Amino acid sequence: MKHVFVPLVGAVLTFLPALKAQDCSSWTNWDLRGTYAQSGSGFIDLSKTFPGAGLPSGLTPYFVISAIVYDGRGSGAGWLSFNMGGTQVNAQYVGYTYSMLANCSLQVTFRLKLTDLGITSGVQSSLKIIVPKRAGDLELRSIHVGTPFGTAPDTSLNLEEMHRISI
């Protein structure tokens, strides 16, 4: 047992510096600037996300792709393309803001404007986790559960992943 344990401890100690948590204490919104490609899937209740628009109620499965440009100053702009229950819907982010938090996460708020229908959602919020990759590469991952501000609970559940594709 001793012959196995000593090399194992040595291997762990060798790689320990690489296993420590990312230090993002000096990061700012500027460090997140760039264009991100995003994909995600989940469920959404359109009647609660866009109240009064006459959209069907109940959770509908959806898949989304999008592109968002982070300006380095806390604002962003971009587009989305959803497939919701077999119907293709295009949208734009409106009032997209982001803020780097001390715990290495990112607070995002936005509204969605469905370009085909001309309707806009209430303000929505999402918390993203920053995943540093190779030199300069970043991923942002999020799980959004719950409620756009001012709406009934259980409005949506989704998992998203974003990859920075340019700075």
* Structural domains of the chain ordered from first start: 24-166 (2.40.160)
7 band by pLDDT with thresholds 50, 70 and 90: very low
User: Is residue 156 classed as helix, strand or coil in its secondary structure?
Assistant: strand
117 band by pLDDT with thresholds 50, 70 and 90: confident
CA distance 154 to 149: 12
Three-state helix/strand/coil letters over 55-69: CCCCCEEEEEEEEEE
CA distance 130 to 80: 21
128 band by pLDDT with thresholds 50, 70 and 90: confident
Using an 8 Å Cβ cutoff, are 129 and 105 in contact? yes
Phi, psi torsion values for 122, nearest 5 degrees: -75, 175
For residue 93, the model assigns a pLDDT of 94
For residue 76, the model assigns a pLDDT of 97
Convert the pLDDT of each residue in 28-54 to its tens digit: 899 899 999 999 988 888 787 777 888
pLDDT higher at 47 or 156: 47
DSSP 62-95: EEEEEEEEE-SSSEEEEEEEEEETTEEEEEEEEE
CA distance 152 to 55: 15
- The single-letter DSSP state of residue 103 is T
Convert the pLDDT of each residue in 63-112 to its tens digit: 999 999 999 999 999 999 989 888 898 999 999 999 998 888 888 989 88
